[in-house]
Amino acid sequence: MPFDYAPAPESRSIVDIKPSYGLFIGGEFTDAKGGTPFKTISPATEEVLAEISQAGPSDVDRAVKAARTAYTQTWRRLAPAERGKYLFRIARIIQERARELAVLESLDNGKPIRESRDVDVPGAAAHFFYYAGWADKLDYAGLGPAPRPLGVAGQIIPWNFPLLMVAWKIAPALAAGNTVVLKPAETTPLTALLFAEICQQADLPPGVVNIITGAGETGQALVEHPDVDKVAFTGSTEVGKAIARAIAGTRKKVTLELGGKAANIVFDDAPVDQAVEGIVNGIFFNQGHVCCAGSRLLVQESVYDEVLDSLRRRLRTLRLGDPLDKNTDIGAINSAAQLARIRELSDVGESEGAERWSPPCELPEHGFWFPPTLFTGVGQSSRIAQEEIFGPVLSVLTFRTPDEAVAKANNTPYGLSAGVWTEKGSLILWMASKLRAGVVWANTFNRFDPTSPFGGYKESGFGREGGRQGLAAYLA
């Protein structure tokens, strides 16, 4: 008799979603004077969750003004240890309201509750704790004797880790003494808006954090606002390039964290069972909506069959479905648009001659879903080996020697991350010195820690987030 897991859904009653949300400016929720409001939905069911304001240029201006006022009148004058106190307080409130944040994140984003509960929310709290400690120690960050904040930071974040990206952006900016205007992604604004309530709860001085919602034009208005000193963006390479063009010739500083097409490289002496877990975690974590996802698997030919057999067997055990079910491994694709892109590129993969495989997997009727998918027989020349799919789709390639592995891994315009699987320590170090990627994971993948800098080479962007290095993006 099979061991079926009965549904184990996390209760959504813990979170109170309002029918509509305003913009968080100057410490208060205010009505937008801009465009028509839009709706945010649950990608798992297409249920409308709330109506969200669209910030127009005058709203962006109000938010930047509020941030400027807070910067000049309160935040930069505050003793550094006091800034740290606010950040510690925010970190603790995130922990206290962890379940609420996790449920809301899974509802709005579609990611499994296991991930929002065990990765996103604790990671967000950890980031605030980490940077809270830096607030009164900036002189010792290795950036000169008395580093100064930049002023007002305009920050734009993506939909794949909505709350975690709030933390990655806001914690170092505030610790360094800046104030911020942050725009969450159009499809996932709810946890950022709950974070605004947390700022109120923490008694953060008004205007230090401002959160404005909207689509691309709102972000563009923020980037182009003349009183923004610093732009921090995480998202697609295409938009990153547009931002770089928009701020060229201005005094604005910028950090960009963009796309990736990471190689996950498995050598023949790898710990195979853990490598298979790492491959799964590398590409199916968060439905593959991860900029540093290990979307290209490079397997040494001598262990190809063994690794692929194990991988297929493992994929058969993945549990796809209700993001709020505590046993779900693969949740919903974040939006119809993203699903269309994943489908389009997968069809291209097939038409280019790669062999497509998915485990038997029933997809829910409503919402946006895509099964975990493997492509074998993929060459470097395939589009699915070159373009970022940003979905649960793995392209499998092979190599014969370490040199060939490096050449193939680096043969991409991106350079965000890479993974190396071998029991041989010297090979790990040699590979790490050759791979053109901001992060090289050895015998693991997709591990994040606030103490560790993260960022890309080449078209994956520039600037680092996390660690001491992450402070440099917000200090001069």
Partner 1 sequence: MTATLPDVSRDEASLKSFLHGLPGVDQVGAEARAAMLSTRSIKTTSKQWAIDTAISMIDLTTLEGADTHGKVRNLCAKARRPDPSDPSTPQVAAVCVYGDLVSVARDALGDSGIRIAAVATAFPSGRASLNVKLADTKEAVAAGADEIDMVIDRGAFLSGRYLQVFEEIVAIKQAAGPAHLKVILETGELATYDNVRRAAWLAMLAGADFIKTSTGKISPAATLPVLLVMLEAVRDLRDGTGRQVGVKPAGGIRTSKDAIRHLVMVNETVGDDWLSADWFRFGASTLLNDLLLQRQKLATGHYSGPDYITLD
Give me the residues that bind partner 1 (CB under 8 A), please. 1-8, 114, 118, 269-275, 277-278, 306, 309, 317, 326-327, 423, 443-444
With respect to partner 1, which residue has the nearer C-beta, 69 or 444?
444
Q: How far is the CB of 85 from partner 1 (least distance, A)?
A: 33
With respect to partner 1, which residue has the nearer C-beta, 224 or 269?
269
Q: Which amino acid is at 361?
A: C
Q: Is 291 a catalytic residue?
A: yes
C-alpha–C-alpha distance, residues 26 and 196, integer Å: 11
- What are the start-end ranges of the E strands in 58-205? 152-156, 179-183
Q: How far is the CB of 370 from partner 1 (least distance, A)?
A: 22
C-alpha–C-alpha distance, residues 406 and 404, integer Å: 5
- What are the start-end ranges of the E strands in 387-458? 393-399, 417-421, 439-442
Q: How far is the CB of 89 from partner 1 (least distance, A)?
A: 29
Q: How far is the CB of 113 from partner 1 (least distance, A)?
A: 10
C-alpha–C-alpha distance, residues 94 and 474, integer Å: 23
C-alpha–C-alpha distance, residues 145 and 278, integer Å: 42
Q: How far is the CB of 92 from partner 1 (least distance, A)?
A: 24
With respect to partner 1, which residue has the nearer C-beta, 242 or 318?
318
Any residues with CB less than 8 A from the CB of 468 and at least 6 apart, and which? 134, 141, 142, 453
Is the CB of residue 186 less than 8 Å from the CB of residue 38? yes
With respect to partner 1, which residue has the nearer C-beta, 3 or 36?
3
Q: Which of 105, 257, 459, 465 is catalytic?
A: 257
**In this structure, how many other beta carbons lie within 10 angstroms of the beta carbon of residue 355?**
12
With respect to partner 1, which residue has the nearer C-beta, 1 or 248?
1
CA dihedral 117, 123, 125, 131 (to 10 degrees): 180
**Distances in whole angstroms, Cα of residue 346 to Cα of each of 263, 327, 390:** 18, 27, 11
Phi and psi torsions of 108, nearest 5° = -80, -30
With respect to partner 1, which residue has the nearer C-beta, 5 or 140?
5
Q: How far is the CB of 39 from partner 1 (least distance, A)?
A: 31
Q: What angle do CA 447, 426, 308 make, to 5 degrees?
A: 60
Any residues with CB less than 8 A from the CB of 285 and at least 6 apart, and which? 115, 293, 446
DSSP character for 450?
A: T
With respect to partner 1, which residue has the nearer C-beta, 392 or 463?
392
DSSP character for 474?
A: G
Q: How far is the CB of 3 from partner 1 (least distance, A)?
A: 4
With respect to partner 1, which residue has the nearer C-beta, 18 or 313?
313
Closest CA to 364 of 315, 324, 316, 314: 324
C-alpha–C-alpha distance, residues 75 and 62, integer Å: 18
Q: How far is the CB of 325 from partner 1 (least distance, A)?
A: 8
- Inter-axis angle of helices 162-175 and 98-109, nearest 10: 120
Q: Which of 105, 115, 291, 388 is catalytic?
A: 291
| Residues labelled as active-site residues | 257, 291
